[in-house]
Structure 1
Amino acid sequence: MRLLVLGGGVFLGAAVVDAAHAAGHAVTVFNRGRSRSRWPAEVEHLAGDRQHDLGRLQGRRFDAVVDTCGYLPGDVRLSAEALADAGQYLFVSSVSAYASLATPGEDERAPLASFDGVAPDDRSTANYGAQKAACEAALRRVWGERALVVRPGLIVGPGDPTGRFSHWPWRAAAGGTMLVPDAPSPLQMIDVRDLAAWMLRLLQDGTRGDFNATGPVDAPTTWPQVIDACIAAATQAGRAPATPQRVGEAFLRGEGVQAWSELPLWIPASDADSQGFLAVSVARARAAGLQTRPLRETAADILAEPLPAADDPRRHGKLTPQRERELLARWAQLTPPP
């Protein structure tokens, strides 16, 4: 394929570029050039901003476009119009685009978030889902039923700039006693490499429509399974792994532990509005060929990279060793051993 990637400098975009290049596709990347300056010799890089520089693509025809960085509906409209003669246009949206994520098992037919009253240029994280829904609408106004929309859940793996899932293999590799929420809520995540490879397959197959994309593809996983995978990866890496200590959700809430940020992936059972966030249906994606690798493999590849220092931005806002020790000590006082 002659493939155009809008973005392509970091994480998912970079994984798409790497997978497409490895598969022998002719790859052109269009971005501002801020996050990456070196590209494989066979990859064409065009520097530009879609708000002002789409004219640089005039006269070019691509078999497929992958839009990994569209967030403002006006930007997506501009690129959708400029590239209307491409063979396909895949927009990377998010499960956050749904109007409600309260119920596990929602599929692609669920209503999307309303973006009425949201300014078209609003970049605030508070309106992330609404803006993704607005971007989908902007694409469909140009591409109609030809549009291909992928709604990933939590994307994880080597190179993740957020460190959300990576926190757990890092913590397992650090040893000692590891605080783990005793949480019943399901968990879903997808390795960035699996997502990139599958999106390319969709394009090669000429697929259209909407798809949730997360994993595992057979069923959501659980906290014990996630922690076991991280401990196994730490052991494989030759480290003395941490010993998990499950801590009650009521205690964590009472201590003011911040769900999702301070304790990554944790969505308390009391958060009724978010119980479906990590439990969407991926039946349609599975039928379209989505495959996901074992979580242990993802964790092992994360640990194959250098462990981040304490001041690394990926550790910002997450549970510190001192805070963890203090919480474990207070929990031990409340729950003495039998």
Structure 2
Amino acid sequence: MLSFSVMRNTFFAAALSAAVFSAAGAHAADAGSALQAASAAEPVFSAVSEIKSPHGGKAVLFFDHTKRFDLNILAEYLKDCKGFEGVKCFCADVSGADKKTLTSFFEKSDSKACIYRAAPDADAPYMVFAREGKPAGVIGKDGSFASLTPVYLSYLAGKTDEARLAEMIDAAEKAENYKKIVPRMNLVLMLAKKGELGAAVHEMDKVNAAELDDKGKLLLGQTYLRLKAAERAYEVFSSCTDSTECILYSGIASYLKGDSDKALQILNGVKDRYEDKNKVNYYLKKIYESRGDSAHAEEIRLPENYNIGSE
């Protein structure tokens, strides 16, 4: 029979995988004011202002052509716009430059027809979206342009309704939120390496699991397991909405926090729908062995020399 400490170390070693994080943020702006600013903008290469039209789907990027970051956003924005027919995309420069300067800067651009000159705005870059004259949303300067722009453009193109738009925005924002773990990951891992698990856990507690999607919760829970905070890990895994992987790990966390009955209940309950049957059986067998239940342990057949790390 395995001792609890040996069993615990086995689980910690087998259950965790490395994770890569990146950072992102979000910012909300006033869509009404942004649309007013767009309507007041003047075209640089045309005598007619199409940006004033309330018909169809309209997206407007407010940017400063003198800033490299803004130009990168502009390039990605124009690329995204090409994938959605029927959506009118406009680009409003807020640098304060005169029309002659903008004409010279963009005269060789394939997308010069979208260039407008707007009033100076320190909040740029940001995007505003409207459908049939009604505001659909805004992505602020600290928002996730990469993940949210296609979501709004899909709505403007008529590919999604308002209910689906709200769901997609929520999913996109939650998918980005888990990346906020990054600023403190190096510190967390350093503290854990030094044996300061309490301080490391305190750092992870600053992450709000409620703002994460299932992928983020899985990563957060696995980090708690690595820090031997099984109770916190269980709470995070249990808050997932639709992840069999989270369910599996909630069973592992249950055992590690001393509730082998709950662990067996969870793992037996998920084994028929978890794709890797051997993985579930591996953990079940280890738990039965730790409980001295050789009868149930011997009923579980695994490939010869099977180990989680050899999958």
Relative to the length of structure 1, the TM-score reads: 0.26
More strand by share: 1
In terms of Rg, which structure is larger? 2
